[in-house]
Amino acid sequence: MGLINIIKNLTGNGSLNGHHSKKMCKKMANKYNDINLFVNDYGYLYDTIKLNGWENDCYLHMNIKYIQQPRHIYAVEFKDNSVYVGLTCDVKNRRSAHLRMTESALRENKTVNSYSLKTGLKPHFKQFTENPLEESLASEMERFCVEEYRNKGWNVLNKMRAGGLGRKDVTKWTNVRVTVEGRKHNKRVDFKRNCRSGYNYAIKNNLMDTIFIGKK
């Protein structure tokens, strides 16, 4: 019942889409010219838009626009079983950037190129996708590839959490994100101590009871 209630509280009626239609989400988003202000006021609508892939329809008028770009999934492997997994819109340029050892390439691709220079090992570029995937699927598949490598004993070089699209999120916290983070803690005091910004967001948006359903 805990998880069911959490989903219900976050979305309005227990389904991921809730009762928020695309038309209604777009109508509310159209009142804002800044996506951060929209998220602060309507984090639950932001989550609904993201879950349904409605960003292009709802955000094109904003100062900060979100336009989906299909991505390829790739890996750069080394003979010592070290690997870097990434996403790119341009396979040719990304391959070239990772494999050349110039000073400018080192500045642009520190993880792969620094490791190659440090170990003396040559990187091997491997492309996983024949056709690019839409962003949300590409992100999920990148995480899958990282876990596959880790499960097979590879040393994963990625510094950022897999699934990132090479840019900062337009905002850090949404109702769903903060609930996921908060559920990692068994007590409210631990959440406050370890993640003050998330805790403050949860307090502001009345999410604490939802986050700690079944907990102290």
CATH of residue 108's domain is 3.40.1440.10
Instruction: Specify whether 136 is located in the same domain as 85.
Output: yes
135 shares its domain with 113: yes
> Does residue 39 lie within any of the structural domains?
yes
Q: Please enumerate in sequence order all residues whose Cβ is within 8 A of that of 9, keeping only pairs 6 or more positions apart, or say none.
A: 207, 209, 210
Residues of the chain with confidence (pLDDT) below 70: 1-20, 51-52, 63-68, 101-109, 136-137, 140, 160-172, 176, 216
Same domain? 78 vs 152: yes
The token pair that represents 167 in the structure block: 């840019």
pLDDT of res. 124: 92
Quick check: 113 and 106 in contact, CB under 8 A?
A: yes
Residues 55 and 87 in one domain: no
What local confidence, expressed as pLDDT, does residue 57 receive?
80
Residue 165 maps to a domain? no
Long-range CB contacts for residues 201-204, cutoff 8 Å, separation at least 24: 201/173, 202/178
Tokens of 191: 């959440």
Assigned domain for 87 exists: yes
Q: According to the model, what pLDDT value does residue 106 have?
A: 54
Q: Of 50, 66, 82, which residue sits at a domain end?
A: 66
Task: Give the model's pLDDT for residue 96.
Answer: 83
pLDDT at 51: 66
Cα–Cα distance measured from residue 97 to residue 92, given in angstroms and rounded to the nearest whole number = 9
pLDDT on residue 63 = 59
Residues 180, 209, single domain; the answer is yes
Residue 7 belongs to some domain of the structure: yes
Which residues constitute the domain of residue 26? 1-66
Structurally, the chain folds into a number of domains equal to 3
Which of 104, 122, 156 corresponds to the end of one domain?
Answer: 156
Does 164 fall in a domain?
Answer: no
Q: Is residue 40 part of a domain?
A: yes
Looking at residue 58, its pLDDT comes to 85
Q: Is residue 167 part of a domain?
A: no
Same domain, 62 and 76: no
Q: Tokens at residue 166, please?
A: 């090479």
Q: Is the pTM of this model over 0.85?
A: no
